[in-house]
Structure 1
Amino acid sequence: MKIALIAPDGRMGQAIKAAAADTDIAIVDTGADVLIDFSAPDALRGSIDRALSENVPLLVGTTGLDEGHDQLLEEAARDIAVLKAPNTSLGVALLADLVTRAARILGEDSWDIEIVEAHHRRKADAPSGTALHLGLAAEKGRGEDAHDELGRCGTGLKREAGEIGYAAVRGGTVAGDHDVLFLGPDERLILSHRAESRAIFARGALTAARFLNGREPGLYSMADVIDAE
Structure 2
Amino acid sequence: MLKVILNGANGRMGRVLQEMIAGDADMVIAAGIDREEFSADFPTFQNMADCDVAADVVIDFSHYTATPAVLDYCVEKQLPVVVATTGLEEDTKKRLLAASEKTAVFFSANMSIGINLLAKAIREITPLLEDDFNVEIIEKHHNQKKDSPSGTALLLADAVNDAVKEKKTYIYGRHGNDLSNPLSELGIHAVRGGTIPGEHTVLYAGPDEIIELNHLALSRNIFANGAVKAAKYVSQKSAGLYDMEQLIDEK
TM-score range for the pair, normalised by the shorter chain length: over 0.9
- How far apart, in 2, do the equivalents of 1:155 and 1:57 lie? 51
Q: Which amino acid aligns with 2:9?
A: P
Per-residue Cα deviation, 1:81-116 (whole angstroms, up to 9, x for no partner): 111111101111101101111112222x21111000
Listed as ranges, the matches of 1:178-217 within 5 Å are 178-217=200-239
Deviations 1:155-180 (A, max 9, x none): 22221332111111110101000000
Q: Distance in 1 between matches of 2:166 and 2:4?
A: 38
Q: 2:136 maps to which residue?
A: 114
- Which residue of structure 2 aligns with residue 27 of structure 1? 29
Aligned to 1:68: 91
* 1:64-96 Cα shifts (integer Å, max 9, x gaps): 112211101011111111111111011111011
Aligned with 1:154: secondary structure? coil
> Residues of 2 paired with 1:144 and 1:216: CA distance?
35
- Residues in 2 aligned to 1:164 and 1:158: alpha-carbon distance in whole angstroms: 12
Following superposition, the deviation at residue 143 of structure 1 comes to 4.4
1:70-219 equivalences under 5 Å are 70-107=93-130, 109-219=131-241
TM-score, structure 2 as length reference: 0.88
- Partner Cα separation in structure 2 for residue 69 and residue 145 of structure 1: 24
Give a deviation string over 1:7-39, Cα, whole Å, max 9, x none.
100111111111112212101122221111111
Q: Which amino acid aligns with 2:126?
A: A
Decide whether aligned partners of structure 1 residues 120 and 2 sit closer, same or farther in structure 2, where only a CA change above 3 A counts. same
Amino acid aligned to 1:82:
V
Give the match for residue 10 of structure 2.
Answer: 9
Q: CA deviation at 1:154?
A: 2.2
Question: Could you tell me the TM-score, scaled by structure 1's length?
Answer: 0.96
Cα distance in 2 between the residues matched to 1:55 and 1:9:
25
Sequence identity (%): 40
SS, match of residue 66 in structure 2: helix
Measure the CA separation in 1 of the matches of 2:163 and 2:54. Answer: 41
Q: What RMSD in Å do the two structures reach over aligned CA positions?
A: 1.1
Q: Which secondary structure does the structure 2 equivalent of 1:126 belong to?
A: coil
Deviates more, 1:197-206 or 1:57-66: 57-66
Query: d(CA) in 2 for partners of 1:89 and 1:194?
Result: 11
Unaligned runs of 5+ residues in structure 2 are 32-52
- Secondary structure (helix, strand or coil) at the match of 1:114 reads strand
Q: Letter of the aligned partner of 2:3 in structure 1?
A: K
Q: Distance in 2 between matches of 1:144 and 1:215?
A: 35
Moved more, 25-34 or 153-162: 153-162
SS at match of 1:200: helix
Return closer, same or farther for 1:144/1:28 CA change in 2, 3 Å cut-off.
farther
Deviations 1:137-195 (A, max 9, x none): 11111144320000112222221332111111110101000000111111111111100
Tell me if the contact between 2:135 and 2:183 (Cα under 8 Å) persists in the aligned partners. Answer: no
Counterpart CA distance in 2 for 1:68 and 1:144 is 27
One-letter identity of the residue aligned with 1:50: Y
Task: Provide the C-alpha distance between the structure 1 equivalents of 2:166 and 2:19, rounded to a whole number of angstroms.
Answer: 41
Gaps of 5+ in 1: none
1:190-210 CA distance string (max 9 Å, x none): 111100110110011101111
